[in-house]
Amino acid sequence: MLTAQASRARLLFEAIGVAAVVVELGADGPGLVLDANADAVRLLGIVPRVRLDQQMPDFIPRDLNPTYPEHLARLRATGSAIYEATVRTPSGDLVPVEASSRLATVDDQDVAVVVLRDLRPRNAAERELRASEARYRALFDAVADAVVAFELDASGRPGRVVEANAAAAALTGLSRAEMEGRPVLDLFRMTETPRLAAARAELIGSGFVRYEDDVHTPQRTIPAQLTSRRVTLDGAQLQVSVFRDLTAERRLQAERAQALSALTDAHERLVTSQEEERRAIARELHDEVGQILTLLAIRLDLAAADAAVPSAHIPAARALVSDLLARIRRLSLDLRPAILDDFGLLPAMEGLFSRYSAHTALTVDFAHAGIDRRFSVATETTAFRIVQEALTNVARHSGASGVSVSASADATYLTIEIEDSGRGFSPRPVDPGAPPESAATPPATLGLDGMRERAARVGGEVTVETGANGTAILVRLPVRDVAGASG
pLDDT (0 to 100) of residue 440: 39
First and final C-alpha spacing in the chain: 121
Q: Which of 464, 458, 474 is nearest to 444 (CA)?
A: 464
Mean local confidence (pLDDT), 450-457: 87
Residues 252 and 241 in one domain: no
* Residue of higher predicted confidence among 440 and 347: 347
Residues 487 and 342 in one domain: yes
Residues 48 and 138 in one domain: no
22 contact partners, CB below 8 Å, separation of at least 6: 33, 34, 35, 36, 106, 111, 112, 113, 114
Domain count, the chain: 4
Mean local confidence (pLDDT), 372-399: 89
SS (H, E, C) 272-284: HHHHHHHHHHHHH
Which pTM value belongs to this model? 0.48
182 pLDDT higher than 90: yes
Confidence at 233, pLDDT banded by 50, 70, 90: confident
291 pLDDT higher than 60: yes
192 pLDDT higher than 50: yes
Q: What is the CATH number of the domain that holds 397?
A: 3.30.565.10
The Cβ of residue 5 has, within 10 Å, a number of other Cβ atoms equal to 9
* Residue of higher predicted confidence among 266 and 110: 110
The pLDDT > 70 percentage for the chain reads 84
Residues 330 and 287 in one domain: yes
Mean local confidence (pLDDT), 409-424: 90
Report yes or no: 386 and 348 within 8 Å, Cβ to Cβ: no
pLDDT (0 to 100) of residue 333: 62
Dist CA 276 CA 339 (whole Å): 24
Beta bridge partner(s), residue 161: 150
Dist CA 89 CA 375 (whole Å): 89
* Domain stop point among 194, 211, 245: 245
413 pLDDT higher than 90: yes
Mean pLDDT for all residues in the chain: 82
Residues 143 and 76 in one domain: no
The interaxial angle of helices 345-360 and 377-393, nearest 10 deg, is: 20
Max mean pLDDT range (31-35, 36-40, 184-188, 282-286): 184-188
User: Which structural domain, as residue segments, surrounds residue 102?
Assistant: 2-118
Residues 20 and 136 in one domain: no
Structural Rg of the chain based on CA atoms: 49
How confident is the model over 294-315, as pLDDT tens digits? 777 776 777 666 666 556 667 7
Beta strand segments in 65-190, E: 80-88, 94-106, 109-118, 146-152, 158-164
Residues 191 and 163 in one domain: yes
* Domain stop point among 118, 151, 185: 118
Confidence at 334, pLDDT banded by 50, 70, 90: low
How confident is the model over 106-142, as pLDDT tens digits? 878 888 889 999 898 888 888 898 888 888 888 888 8
pLDDT (0 to 100) of residue 218: 92
Report yes or no: 419 and 404 within 8 Å, Cβ to Cβ: yes
Dist CA 339 CA 409 (whole Å): 20
Residues 169 and 301 in one domain: no
pLDDT (0 to 100) of residue 485: 41
Residues 289 and 306 in one domain: yes
Confidence at 347, pLDDT banded by 50, 70, 90: very high
Residues 416 and 319 in one domain: no
437 pLDDT higher than 70: no
Residues 272 and 369 in one domain: no
Confidence at 366, pLDDT banded by 50, 70, 90: very high
Confidence at 52, pLDDT banded by 50, 70, 90: low
Taking every pair of C-alpha atoms in the chain, what is the biggest distance, in angstroms?
170
Lowest mean pLDDT of 127-136, 145-154, 157-166, name the range: 127-136
Residues 284 and 328 in one domain: yes
355 pLDDT higher than 90: no
* Domain stop point among 300, 317, 335: 335
The pLDDT > 90 percentage for the chain reads 32
SS3 for 421?
A: coil
